[in-house]
């Protein structure tokens, strides 16, 4: 099955949480991994992929650095027409501030070059260094105005700091002003959180990622980020890191916590937690090709806020495209899921009619 050999399909499949790494970033990572005080989560994440002789790790490393033939071949084999690509986790967020601020534009320029080589196949997200919020805001502006990118990727916490801290809010200010959604992608847990997960081998994408990124999203809500930036849009992968399933309890317990004045950090909000989830978030199904969970998420969010993603190369599973295509879904909802929502959110030009 190839993307180009399926002319009858009335939509493109746009995968929206796909990853790459410039080879230069791996050099920086090698230096960080060589340090005696390397962050434990980073060691367990990129230390594994960069050093393990396993087939999975080697395959992923080959795919991550490629923005040409191998990637396009895999896209064709899986029937993915377009990838929306972000700098793989943790991106520049594990680097010291100066290195991070200097490298984010390098990564963005490389991705913009690849977009120019494959204009109807690859779409880039803007990587930023939250370590310097003002520089991050300027890089968002450069990404939109000079590189033609219309979304931002942030790999969750930055060395244990969360975007709920107002010092980071210049990033939200720029994102709202430039109408760029922020993909809040998982990162390895901070050292203060990870130990009990590592013990059980549950720190990674299997569970820890979702716990930590879900926490991050909730911290944005309870800190009042969306009362301050009501148009800001956050994208969550992995079926919203399970937050739709939590919505009822979040609403009940948030109200109870506010009323009893239990925590200074939990103050009244203009809307219910579930309202922010539905109005300030979009969700992708990355890593979750499971009909009942997708249906529930579409019911909760509305079909216009749920998008397709594969999570290439970490979950390169072409058979999942077929599973998703075989779900019982109204044709216009299927088209929204695979194409329309992504075209709108990431401002992707419609496909040119083939001649």
By annotation, the residues acting in catalysis are 311
Structural Rg of the chain based on CA atoms: 19
159 binds, among ligand 1DF, Mn ion, none (CB under 5 to 8 A by kind): none
Does residue 185 have a cis bond before it (omega within 30 degrees)?
A: no
- Closer CB to ligand 1DF, 269 or 283, in the complex: 283
The answer to whether residue 273 forms part of the interface with ligand 1DF (CB under 6 A) is no
The residue assigned the tokens 């969360």 is 162
Q: Which helix (H) or strand (E) holds 252?
A: helix 243-259
- Closer CB to Mn ion, 311 or 343, in the complex: 311
Residue selected from 124, 181, 190, 204 as contacting ligand 1DF according to rule CB under 6 A: 204
Does residue 90 have a cis bond before it (omega within 30 degrees)?
A: yes
Q: Residue number with the shortest CB distance to ligand 1DF?
A: 205
CA atoms of 353 and 55, how far apart (whole Å) = 40
Pairing relationship of beta strands 152-154 and 281-284 according to DSSP bridges: unpaired
- C-alpha 96: how far from its chain's center? 22
- Closer CB to ligand 1DF, 52 or 134, in the complex: 52
- Closer CB to Mn ion, 189 or 223, in the complex: 189
320 binds, among ligand 1DF, Mn ion, none (CB under 5 to 8 A by kind): none
Give the number of residues in contact with ligand 1DF, rule: CB under 6 A: 13
- Closer CB to ligand 1DF, 274 or 285, in the complex: 285
SS3 258: helix
The answer to whether residue 103 forms part of the interface with ligand 1DF (CB under 6 A) is no
In the complex, minimum distance from the CB of residue 189 to Mn ion, in angstroms, rounded to a whole number: 15
The answer to whether residue 287 forms part of the interface with ligand 1DF (CB under 6 A) is yes
CA atoms of 316 and 34, how far apart (whole Å) = 29
205 binds, among ligand 1DF, Mn ion, none (CB under 5 to 8 A by kind): ligand 1DF
Residues 6+ apart with CB under 8 A from 278: 300, 301, 302, 305
The answer to whether residue 314 forms part of the interface with ligand 1DF (CB under 6 A) is yes
Residue selected from 14, 15, 32, 45 as contacting ligand 1DF according to rule CB under 6 A: 45
- Closer CB to Mn ion, 133 or 208, in the complex: 208
DSSP string, 71-140: HHHHHHHHT--EEEEEEPTTGGGGS-HHHHHHHHHHHHHHHHHHHHHSTTTEEEPEE--TTSHHHHHHHH
In the complex, minimum distance from the CB of residue 268 to ligand 1DF, in angstroms, rounded to a whole number: 34
- Closer CB to Mn ion, 150 or 185, in the complex: 185
List the helix and strand counts (H, then E) for the chain. Answer: 17, 9
Residue selected from 16, 83, 89, 159 as contacting ligand 1DF according to rule CB under 6 A: 89
SS3 292: helix
In the complex, minimum distance from the CB of residue 214 to ligand 1DF, in angstroms, rounded to a whole number: 13
Burial class of 128 by CB neighbour count within 10 A (0 to 12, 13 to 18, 19+): buried
CA atoms of 337 and 101, how far apart (whole Å) = 35
The answer to whether residue 19 forms part of the interface with ligand 1DF (CB under 6 A) is yes
Fill in the per-residue mask, 160 to 199: x = in contact with ligand 1DF (CB under 6 A), - = not in contact: --------------------------x-------------
The answer to whether residue 88 forms part of the interface with ligand 1DF (CB under 6 A) is yes
The answer to whether residue 311 forms part of the interface with ligand 1DF (CB under 6 A) is yes
Please give the residue ranges that form the binding site for ligand 1DF (CB under 6 A). 19, 45, 88-89, 186, 204-205, 209, 237, 286-287, 311, 314
């Amino acid at each position: 099955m190839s993307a180009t050999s399926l002319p009858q399909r009335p939509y493109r499949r746009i995968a929206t949480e796909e990853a790459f790494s410039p080879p230069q970033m791996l050099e920086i990572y090698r230096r960080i991994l060589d340090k005696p005080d390397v962050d434990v989560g980073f060691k367990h994440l990129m230390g594994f992929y960069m050093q393990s002789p396993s087939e999975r790790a080697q395959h992923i490393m080959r795919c991550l650095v490629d923005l040409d033939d191998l990637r396009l071949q895999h896209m064709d084999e899986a029937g993915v027409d377009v990838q929306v690509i972000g700098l793989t986790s943790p991106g520049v967020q594990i680097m010291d501030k100066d290195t991070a601020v200097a490298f984010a534009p390098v990564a963005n320029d490389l991705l913009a070059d690849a977009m120019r080589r494959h204009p109807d196949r690859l779409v880039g997200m803007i990587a930023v260094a939250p370590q310097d919020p003002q520089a991050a805001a300027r890089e968002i502006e450069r990404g939109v105005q000079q590189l033609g990118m219309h979304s931002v990727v942030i790999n969750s916490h930055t060395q244990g700091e969360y975007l709920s801290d107002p010092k980071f809010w210049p990033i939200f200010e720029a994102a709202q002003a430039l109408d760029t959604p922020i993909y809040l992608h998982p990162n390895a847990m901070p050292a203060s959180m990870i130990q009990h997960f590592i013990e059980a081998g549950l720190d990674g994408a299997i569970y820890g990622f979702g716990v930590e990124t879900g926490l991050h999203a909730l911290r944005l809500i309870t800190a009042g980020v969306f009362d301050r930036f009501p148009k800001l849009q956050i994208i969550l992968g992995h079926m919203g890191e399970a937050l739709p399933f939590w919505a009822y309890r979040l609403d009940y317990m948030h109200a109870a916590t506010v009323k009893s004045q239990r925590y200074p950090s939990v103050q009244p909000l203009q809307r219910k937690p579930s309202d922010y989830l539905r109005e300030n978030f979009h969700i992708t199904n990355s890593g979750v090709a499971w009909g009942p969970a997708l249906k529930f998420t579409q019911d909760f969010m509305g079909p216009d806020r749920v998008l397709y993603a594969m999570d290439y190369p970490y979950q390169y599973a072409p058979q999942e495209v077929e599973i998703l295509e075989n779900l019982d879904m109204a044709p216009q909802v299927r088209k929204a899921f695979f194409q329309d929502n992504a075209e709108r959110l990431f401002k992707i030009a419609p496909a040119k009619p083939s001649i």
